[in-house]
Structure 1
Amino acid sequence: MTAQSPPAPGIEAELQDSWLPMVVIGMGQVQMSLNINALPVSIGNIVNEFNTAPTTVGTAIVAYSLSVAGFVMLGGKLGQKFGSLLIFQIATVLLLLAMVMMTFSTSAEIMIVAQLIAGLAAAAIVPTLVVLIANNYRGKQQSKALGILGAVQAITTVTAFFLAGALGTWIGWRWAFGIIIPFAAVVLLLSFRLKRVPKIPGVKIDWVGVVLAALSIIFISVGFNNLNGWGLVLARAAAPLAPLGISPAPILIVSGVIGVQLFVAWAQRRVAAQQTPLLALEVIDSRQEQAAAISMMSIVILGNAMTFLVPLYIQMVQGRTSLNTSVAMIPYQLAVFAAAISIVRVFDRLTPRQIARKAFILVAVGMVVLAIVMNNEWGTLPVIMGLVLVGLGQGSLVTLLFNVLVTSSPKELAADVGALRGTINNLAAGVGTALAGALVVGILSLNIQRGVMDNPSIPPELIQQVNLDEVTFVSNDRLQATLTTTTATTDQMDEAIAINAAARLRALKLTFLFLAALALLVIVPSRRLPSYVPGEVPTPER
């Protein structure tokens, strides 16, 4: 083999590859982000048209997230076996078809199936994006490309929130998904201008690993998603089964965690037998990589918890439109975008460990600010400041942690890094949404029960007419409509509405404080992130 001399200093900075591939890669991310971010903004309109509960939209979000998280590792291996560009193109066609179903759905069930298919398509697309970046860029340009990918996701979220809000308010919620159809078609056409990624010979699909990974992720996600409905420990009436009176939700979570351990053990066994595992464990075998994975999961949980709480409060409590929701979330999403694309500039001055610590503190401070200033008006400056602080911290962490994982693994494992990122992001998204819902509804239920029991204006016979075991976030109008079917007097209705309003606000504040505490706790594992100074060659800590 002919030895090559290293390039002179500054040469790499001068030799820049074309950004055209990044445009196509970014558009591939956009088509997925437009879909999943339009769902929470469209909650009110979908609920009204299909005459269903808000949790149905949550089910569609979870169906998408589960599909991606459960099968993104399979998507990575399919890319290695058949070529990442080919898989990218096939998955884009599948996403296009899913959006056709979504746009013309006639029931909530069809909508959920459409999101399930869209999730499977995204599971194949997500790993290919990392492979395409690694195949086209290197060095500082690769770091910038990874930052752009994170920034594209953030700015698309802003766009999706605004488009879905505006279209849902003025035309109809279906248009927010209909515009993805021609967009996906353009992505497909432009993808033929990309150079093909060669197949990796000898790759075989680990179907046992696929089953273990999918079941583990589904168990964990479904368990978290039903903690409130099925019971935190003891089973509630809504639980589908109750072994020994215990809720199936924690049983599923524990089973999922055990499944993850089995998956890792199975992957190690395949490596020992010189066979291809579903996920190359080299991408998470150092302490630094493990810290990056844990930190990434934590920030995605925190971000999705907040983006679930804000639309829920604005639409279901304040009774405002989806457009109001999109406007309220714009400062946060712009902050994520700005941080994700600009944090690369400080990589030469601060270590990943330092950046992560400062970013998690920013997130915690932002959550505390939101808890303190929380009231019925989301347009106040302190609230905007809280949202911006969380966004700056989240955007910085997303790009930083993604870079740590990509740069610490060889180029041939780019698909595995992409699969790991997709698994973490979508599993954490489902867990974050479910955790926020369980916390805020659980706290709300306790507050309402205590407020009603301690209020002499609410007689016991009236309490018996209302099912306090199924307390959820409802508007004042809907609560009043429910109370009209009881024997409640006008004064008792006013008192019950006041109790509910105070309980909602307190539940929201306490949930944000809990999220702030979680952000501070994650600083502990993030201390294992790389601490090398500029110019050093990082040595992974095994």
Structure 2
Amino acid sequence: MKKWLVVIILGAAQFVMVLDGTVMNVSISTVVDDLDSSVTAMQTAITFYTLTMAAFMLLGAKLGDIWGRRRALVIGSLVYGLGSLITALSPNMGVLFLGWSVIEGVGAVLVIPAVAALIADNYTGRDRITAFAIIGAVSGAAVAAGPLIGGFMTTYLSWRYVFVGEVVIMIGVVLTARLIGETSARRSIRIDLLSVVFSAAGLVALVSGMLQSKTWGWIVPLHSPELFGTPIAPLGVSLSAWLMVAGAALLWLFFARQRRLVARGREPLVHVELLSIRQLRSGLSVLGGQYAITAGLFFMIPVYLQMTLGLDALQTGIRIFPLSISLILFSIVGTRLSRRWSPRRIVLTGQWILVAGSVVLLAAIDPELTGIAFGAGMFSAGAALGLLASQLGNVNMSAVTADDTSEVGGLQGVFQNLGSSLGTALIGSVLIGALATSFASGIATADLSDKARIAVSEATQGGVAIIPAASVPELALEAGLSDTEAATLQAAYTESQLSSLRTALFALIALALLSLMLSRGIPDRLPTAQPDSSRSPAPPG
């Protein structure tokens, strides 16, 4: 047991980091009511929690090299605990955004790379494979347990107690961190601030553009932001598209900057030549896809269950339970299978199960989401995600030498959280955009008076908001419509929510297929020792 004490401590920190990505999703309607906010604001907060981590993860990994990884773990845990405390006490969405999306995110950028690097520092050989599998299983368990923990706390106590619990766990990590061994710090490293600006600004612009596309439009301007009464849509193109282009350009500048620093003999923020290693490139790509799909599922399903069916947080968590239990179970199964199957076989099996499960989910969509097929689809998706979680950490770390484990830990954090933020932003935008399109189509064919059509047009001038379907008749009556027209509007809105869920699930299937295409470099077997040099060019492919 003493041998595994380090992985238990690090696993506790990893559990909290991942838990926050799903624990609030089942509480969306409650938090919206408590803080007098909206689903769109919650989508933004969820997205920016992971986006903050993605934007500054490389900086966090580099600071871990400078300060020492154990010190980075301690400092990050303290910052994270402070953010959790602020979130628990937040009186409005602005304070919640500061505590959760910003301060917790900043703490996590120190903790997550340190966890991966400290595992590599403290274990070797088969023990290292087992330790990374355990961390992967813990991550899967956190993703799965989030809806149940959040649902129980929100229903019987308060969603705020989730964050109080996180404060307690992070204090425990700080108090036990002295038991963790580490390699020495590299205090001579200089951080290139321009690289930090390029990477952070590029990721924020890219994801923000995708996040706002539901309102501003992807390319054709819809409800553009205004400056002094003038819509902002340069050259007649949506500001969302310009933000995404700017983000891509900044990321190109970031990569060019890293190569220039290496050529000058200076320390880059990340050695981008690491991405020439086929195994690492595939492992990180699949990891990003896994987290994008997970985040998308954990956003779209709870929103429908709460806003259309009116379920509370615990009922929502129970509906997601098949995915939760299978994710935990198959994280363990994947760890056991790794003794007989290659990483490639396990990962490909998981990816094909994910595609099949997503198709089953799409076919099983009905107004109540209670059918056996829906439960089977959720279970299959969880099984696939569990298999992936059990393998990818060790696939990535085994691709490099011990000197590069901190950088790869940072890259893993970037891909995990960029995947999560893109998943929430993309799937959320598809969901809300499809809702607007479907509702407009439904209203066009509905039996409504001119007065009703004008009222609907005025109410949706800034876009169609996600609200509980049961509240539509009350809003219609307040607008002076008849009972019959109120019922017609409710039926159209409910059908639009169901249609938008189908559209978002189809986008999820496309993501799963894309992830499958990116897995060609997952190895048939892992090396028994790390390679001598991770920075020598790898064969193309």
Q: Name the TM-score class by shorter chain.
A: over 0.9
- Which residue, 309, 328, 341 being the options, matches 1:337? 328
Structure 1 residues 171, 401: CA separation in 2 closer, same or farther (over 3 Å shift)? closer
Distance, in Å, in 2 between the alignment partners of 1:508 and 1:238 is 25
Runs (4+) off by over 6 Å: 533-539
Name whichever of 101-110 and 516-525 sits farther off: 516-525
- Which residue, 365, 380, 388 being the options, matches 1:389? 380
Secondary structure class of the residue paired with 2:20: helix
Contact map agreement 1:221 1:253 (CA 8 A) in 2: yes
Q: Deviations over 1:358-392 (max 9, x none)?
A: 22211111111111111233443221211111111
1:431 aligned to 2:417? no
Q: Deviations over 1:251-288 (max 9, x none)?
A: 11121112222111111111111211111224311233
What aligned pairs does 1:18-37 form with structure 2 within 5 A after superposition?
A: 18-37=3-22
C-alpha deviation, 1:206, in angstroms: 1.8
Q: Deviations over 1:417-462 (max 9, x none)?
A: 111011111111111011111111222222221122123x123432
Structure 1 residues 502, 361: CA separation in 2 closer, same or farther (over 3 Å shift)? same
1:62 aligned to 2:47? yes
Name whichever of 34-43 and 83-92 sits farther off: 34-43
Distance, in Å, in 2 between the alignment partners of 1:280 and 1:535 is 24
Q: Deviations over 1:387-406 (max 9, x none)?
A: 11111112222332322211
1:463 aligned to 2:467? no
Q: Which amino acid aligns with 1:163?
A: I
Q: Which amino acid aligns with 1:341?
A: I
Q: Deviations over 1:151-171 (max 9, x none)?
A: 112222333322221221122
| Counterpart position of 2:72 | 87
Contact map agreement 2:21 2:295 (CA 8 A) in 1: no
Q: Give ranges in structure 1 of 5+ residues lacking alignment.
A: 1-15
Q: Deviations over 1:4-53 (max 9, x none)?
A: xxxxxxxxxxxx98000001100111232343432222212211111111
Task: Tell me the C-alpha RMSD between the 2 structures.
Answer: 2.2
Contact map agreement 1:349 1:534 (CA 8 A) in 2: no
- Which residue, 88, 110, 133 being the options, matches 1:124? 110
1:243 aligned to 2:243? no
What aligned pairs does 1:201-216 form with structure 2 within 5 A after superposition?
A: 202-216=188-202
Distance, in Å, in 1 between the alignment partners of 2:300 and 2:516 is 23
What aligned pairs does 1:204-283 form with structure 2 within 5 A after superposition?
A: 204-240=190-226, 241-283=232-274
Q: Which amino acid aligns with 1:152?
A: V
C-alpha deviation, 1:504, in angstroms: 1.5
Q: Which amino acid aligns with 2:523?
A: P
Name whichever of 236-245 and 251-260 sits farther off: 236-245
Distance, in Å, in 2 between the alignment partners of 1:196 and 1:355 is 31
Contact map agreement 1:150 1:341 (CA 8 A) in 2: no
Q: Deviations over 1:93-135 (max 9, x none)?
A: 1111112111111221111110110000001101000111001
TM-score by length of 2: 0.92
What aligned pairs does 1:6-405 form with structure 2 within 5 A after superposition?
A: 18-115=3-100, 116-200=102-186, 202-240=188-226, 241-405=232-396
Contact map agreement 2:398 2:530 (CA 8 A) in 1: no
Contact map agreement 1:364 1:519 (CA 8 A) in 2: yes
| Counterpart position of 1:500 | 493
1:527 aligned to 2:525? no
TM-score by length of 1: 0.92
Q: Give ranges in structure 2 of 5+ residues lacking alignment.
A: 227-231, 532-536
Aligned residue-pair number:
526
C-alpha deviation, 1:77, in angstroms: 0.5
Q: Which amino acid aligns with 1:192?
A: R
Distance, in Å, in 1 between the alignment partners of 2:114 and 2:528 is 30
Contact map agreement 2:22 2:298 (CA 8 A) in 1: no
1:518 aligned to 2:511? yes
Contact map agreement 1:38 1:177 (CA 8 A) in 2: no
Secondary structure class of the residue paired with 2:22: helix
